[in-house]
Amino acid sequence: MKASSRDHDKGKRKVVKAPLGKGEPWYEIRKEFPTEKLAETAATSKAKQLSRAERRIDFTCKCGDPDVLEQVLLTFSDVSPEVSGQWIVTQAVHEYDAETDSYTTSGTAEMKE
């Protein structure tokens, strides 16, 4: 992960890096940040976001749950080890079908670090 800042006193561009997983391609934030600290924070944040995105699941609850909203924590247990644990909802969709009188909740979640 790379991000850059401008040292206005020296008139030079400074590049900061945040580690990704081993063997993963580099990602560069093209925006230039006003300070090295902001560039470092942005690089670290983006590296974490990309890591979470690798651990993303889609879910559907046929019984529906109005409490499932974005940023809510879901906990899955008694399932495969890859899915067990806490997940942060990143997208939630609630649907009501009047013909069948059914309510479903679906969405996407990323594993909590």
Contacts 24+ apart (CB under 8 A), 75-81: none
Element (H, E) at 53: helix 36-54
**pTM score:** 0.55
- pLDDT above 70 (res 20): no
Per-residue pLDDT, 91: 95
CA distances 22 to 25, 26, 51, Å, are 9, 11, 12
23 residue type, one letter: G
From the list 35, 46, 34, the residue with the least C-alpha distance to 2 is 46
Tally of CB atoms within 10 A around 42: 19
Please state, for a pLDDT cut of 90, what percent of the chain lies above it: 32
Dihedral angle sign, alpha carbons of residues 100, 70, 91, 74: negative
pLDDT in tens, 93-106: 999 999 999 999 99
Give the per-residue pLDDT at 67.
Answer: 93
Domain parsing of the chain, residue ranges: 2-54, 56-111
